[in-house]
């Protein structure tokens, strides 16, 4: 017999509209992937800004660590993950699905 133990702590925060993220760089394949899925990628002044399409949502994943972690869902069902530093100088990160490299 297996017993499921429910954590007394929340695993996720509320879901909200996704906001843009600024990165220090981006691989060409990642840029193409994001643009294919409706994101707007702007490069300038040594930074990359990614604006998610209308309808994209963001949900914070708990527990918080040195980084705030978010699950981003695009309208077509694509799921991304973000990491944003908390209380220290660091870089934002955006993670694409593992199968993104297999898309045409």
Q: Contact, 26 vs 41, CB < 8 A?
A: yes
pLDDT for 29-47, tens place per residue?
Answer: 999 999 999 999 999 999 9
pTM: 0.84
Q: What contacts 22, CB < 8 A, 6 or more positions away?
A: 47, 48, 49, 50, 92
Element (H, E) at 59: strand 57-61
Q: Contact, 37 vs 74, CB < 8 A?
A: yes
More confident residue, 100 or 86: 86
- Residue 5 belongs to a domain: no
Pair of tokens at residue 96? 């694409």
| Domain ranges, residue 73 | 15-102
Q: Contact, 93 vs 50, CB < 8 A?
A: no
pLDDT for 56-90, tens place per residue?
Answer: 999 999 998 899 999 999 999 999 999 999 888 88
Q: How many folded domains does the chain comprise? A: 1
Residue 104 in this model has a pLDDT that exceeds 70: no
- Residue 1 belongs to a domain: no
pLDDT reported for residue 57: 98
- Residue 4 belongs to a domain: no
């Amino acid at each position: 017999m297996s017993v499921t133990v429910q954590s007394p702590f929340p695993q996720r925060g509320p879901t909200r509209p996704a906001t843009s993220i600024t990165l220090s760089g981006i691989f060409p394949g990642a840029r193409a992937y994001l643009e294919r899925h409706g994101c707007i990628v702007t490069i300038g002044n040594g930074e990359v800004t990614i604006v998610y399409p209308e309808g994209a949502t963001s949900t914070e994943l708990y527990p918080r660590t040195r980084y705030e972690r978010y699950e981003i869902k695009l309208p077509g069902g694509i799921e991304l993950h973000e990491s944003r530093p908390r209380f220290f100088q660091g870089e934002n990160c955006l993670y694409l699905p593992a199968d993104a490299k297999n898309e045409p």
